[in-house]
């Protein structure tokens, strides 16, 4: 796609930064879109990466002021969609539930288990209209292929795995970690839900890229996890994450118009009467 044809405030690809990931674009223009769900975590920064128009929002705010259960996931995704984004890459810090996946490992999961509660899980809350979206495969296959195809010799993400999303903000007990692993979990984090589900409700392609910062408590001798450890490990790998995302952005397919999009993520609302018009 010729990015020069896009209006100055439009973007086709969105990045939602996780813990320790507060900036991605240089010389960006910022905008604060209004949404039906309040303000996003921070103004949306819009710039160019690898010849593509990219919008960035730090998930936890510019000063990490929003804990996982207080992030306004609906506003963040609505705001990204309102500036043109249809493909989202979402880096996140996670704990490992597998001894072989140590700190510094990148994982591109293909499944998730939702163990959150009390969060705003849907944008479709108006009375009189019921909207159901398929979520059997929560992540975009084309987005995952772009990230995995962006691997280099020193950075080869693990292809597939199940992300267990806990409510937080506390970390898991050792018993919970063993339970999550026994249930088939590969990695564990606090922000993947409802983010992935809301993206699907808005007919957006969504791919998460996870950086293992620690072994979860009770896994491979792991003891209590600390927030400082998580941020330190993410900081040590932030440039590797940015390089991977930059290559993935270049590899993503051009965004198709909504009416003719071929990806199943973008067709999630086909045939359904919506209670409002999407941006």
- Known catalytic residues are 214, 216
What does DSSP assign to residue 190?
S
Q: Residue 265 and residue 77: Cα distance in Å, rounded? A: 14
Length reported for the chain? 279
Q: Which of 243, 182, 189, 178 is nearest to 211 (CA)?
A: 189
Q: Residue 256 and residue 264: Cα distance in Å, rounded? A: 12
Q: Residue 217 and residue 38: Cα distance in Å, rounded? A: 36
Question: Token digits for 262?
Answer: 């071929």
Q: How many CB atoms are located within 10 Å of the residue 203 CB? A: 20
Q: Residue 247 and residue 238: Cα distance in Å, rounded? A: 14
- Beta strand 29-31 with 44-49: parallel, antiparallel or unpaired? antiparallel
């Amino acid at each position: 796609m010729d990015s020069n044809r896009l209006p100055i405030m439009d973007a086709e690809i969105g990045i939602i930064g996780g813990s320790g990931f507060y900036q991605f674009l240089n010389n960006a223009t910022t905008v604060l879109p209004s949404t039906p769900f309040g303000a996003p975590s921070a103004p949306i920064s819009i710039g160019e990466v690898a010849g593509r128009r990219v919008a960035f929002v730090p998930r936890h705010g510019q000063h990490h002021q929003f804990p996982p259960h207080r992030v306004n996931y609906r506003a963040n995704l609505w705001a990204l969609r309102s500036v043109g984004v249809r493909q989202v890459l979402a880096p996140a810090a996670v704990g490992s539930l597998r001894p072989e996946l140590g700190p510094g490992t990148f994982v591109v999961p293909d499944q998730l288990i939702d163990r959150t509660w009390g969060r705003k899980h849907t944008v479709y809350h108006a009375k009189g209209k019921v909207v159901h979206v398929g979520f059997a495969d929560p992540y975009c296959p084309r987005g995952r292929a772009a990230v995995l195809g962006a691997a280099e010799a020193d950075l080869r993400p693990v292809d597939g795995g199940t992300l267990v999303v806990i409510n937080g903000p506390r970390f898991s007990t050792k018993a919970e970690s063993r339970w999550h692993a026994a249930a088939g979990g590969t990695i564990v984090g606090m922000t993947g839900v409802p983010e992935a589900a809301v993206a699907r409700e808005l007919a957006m392609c969504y791919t998460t890229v996870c950086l293992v910062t620690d072994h979860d408590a009770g896994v491979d001798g792991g003891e209590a996890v600390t927030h400082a450890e998580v941020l330190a490990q993410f900081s040590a790998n932030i440039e590797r994450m940015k390089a991977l995302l930059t290559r993935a952005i270049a590899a993503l397919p051009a965004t198709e118009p909504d009416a003719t999009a071929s990806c199943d993520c973008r067709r999630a609302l086909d045939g359904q009467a919506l209670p409002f018009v999407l941006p």
